[in-house]
Amino acid sequence: MILSIDTSCDETAAAVVSGRRVLSNVIYSQVLLHKKWGGVVPSIAKRAHEERIDWVIEETIKKFQILNSKSQKNSKLKIKNSKHLDFKHINYIAITIGPGLAPALEVGIKKAKELAEKFNKKIIAVNHLEGHIYSPFVQNSKGNPKIDFHFPYLVLTVSGGHTNLVIFEDHLNYKVIGETIDDAAGEALDKASKLLGLGYPGGPVIERLAKEVDNRDFYHFPRPMISGDNLNFSFSGLKTSFYYFLKKMNEKEKIRKIKELSSSFQKAVFETLIIKTEKAIKKTGIKNLALVGGVSANFYLRKLFRQLGKKYKGQVLFPSFKYLTGDNAAMIGVAAFFKAKRNLFVSDMQKLDRIPRMKL
């Protein structure tokens, strides 16, 4: 049984997992706090994590205790009203140490150390990116979905902070073969959304508007860095070209064409992702695919990814539940389970620190 915590960005999250099963999961999103600033503000994130982390962990443990003692009469009420957190069934504590916002990561790490000391538990340090990679492996408390996994996988991680292509050879064995040299895919969508006056986060609203015009391409914005066999991504040039394109339009025109603009921008980002993934399939010979991270919530991107998988007759994985696309602690707990199996615990807790630019 692992209590896992993630405070890497703008979600305060905790979960209890047993193997790949999630027994309890709580996510307190800060998105409303950051919305008016058009993006995540580190100092606001830090304070919000500090204010909420105790409540999030208490709720997670209480939910877990209730599930654990379902058979006992009146136990639900007793646990709900109890101020005493019972850690006796928790074996380890898992914590995200990077990559992410330093002030945000610090809050979770401090709390993990505090709990580990108080309850005498070992800590498992997890890379946030390996958490995302494990999101298709997460099961609900009943052990669903049941999937046969066939390593190796080619994993495309697309979130607000990261875009990379990774060979997932086997458990805990990753090789990064491509990454963004500037903006992440989600960040590009967020910036386009801001330029269109659609607010933060941009991904979901752009998805909705694009769908209304059948995800068609009207303006053919550039697909960056698709020539050659380079597997790195770059989205800042696309953003600049979009910016100058919008500059030539007046406000009325922009609003009239908002769906066409959203759809064309989204298409440029997604086609680039698909072209690069196909290049990676050809280069590595790996046909089994996984799409993870916040942008993997997008149904149109999933459709394109599924088509790619079908073309090469490979297995295609997505995060097993919607809440696993964005940031959460369940995926961190499942990654930690595989580390615990190999005794990969933190040996010196005093030295445990955040690594904001942590690599895989």
Nearer to ligand KG4, 13 or 94 (CB): 13
Structure tokens at 71: 């058979």
Contact 4, 332 (CB under 8 A): yes
Strands 289-292, 173-179: pairing kind:
unpaired
Size of the site for ligand KG4 (CB under 6 A): 20
Contact pattern for ligand KG4 over residues 159 through 178, marking x by CB under 6 A? xxx-----------------
State yes or no: cis peptide before 145, omega within 30 of 0.
yes
Only one of the segments 51-59, 145-153, 239-247, 287-295 lies at the binding site for ligand KG4 (rule: CB under 6 A); that segment is 287-295
| CB of 156 vs ligand KG4, minimal distance in Å | 13
**Cα-to-chain-centroid distance, residue 139:** 16
The option from Zn ion, ligand KG4, none interacting with 186 (CB < 5 to 8 A, set by class) reads: ligand KG4
Q: Please select the residue that binds ligand KG4; options are 98, 108, 202, 309, rule is CB under 6 A.
A: 202
267 phi/psi in degrees, rounded to 5: -60, -40
Nearer to ligand KG4, 95 or 340 (CB): 95
Q: Please select the residue that binds ligand KG4; options are 327, 330, 340, 346, rule is CB under 6 A.
A: 327
As a whole number of angstroms, the distance between CA 208 and CA 200 comes to: 14
Residue 55: partners with Cβ closer than 8 Å, 6 or more residues away: 28
User: Can you list the positions of beta strands (E) in the chain?
Assistant: 2-6, 11-18, 21-29, 92-98, 122-127, 153-158, 163-170, 173-179, 289-292, 316-317
Our finding on whether 189 is near ligand KG4 (CB under 6 A) is yes
| CB of 75 vs ligand KG4, minimal distance in Å | 34
Contacts (CB under 5 A) with Zn ion, residues 290-329: 327
Contacts (CB under 5 A) with Zn ion, residues 152-171: 159
| CB of 328 vs ligand KG4, minimal distance in Å | 9
63 phi/psi in degrees, rounded to 5: -60, -40
Contacts (CB under 6 A) with ligand KG4, residues 207-226: 207
- Binding-site ranges for ligand KG4 (CB under 6 A): 9, 159-161, 186-187, 189-190, 201-204, 207, 293-295, 297-298, 326-327
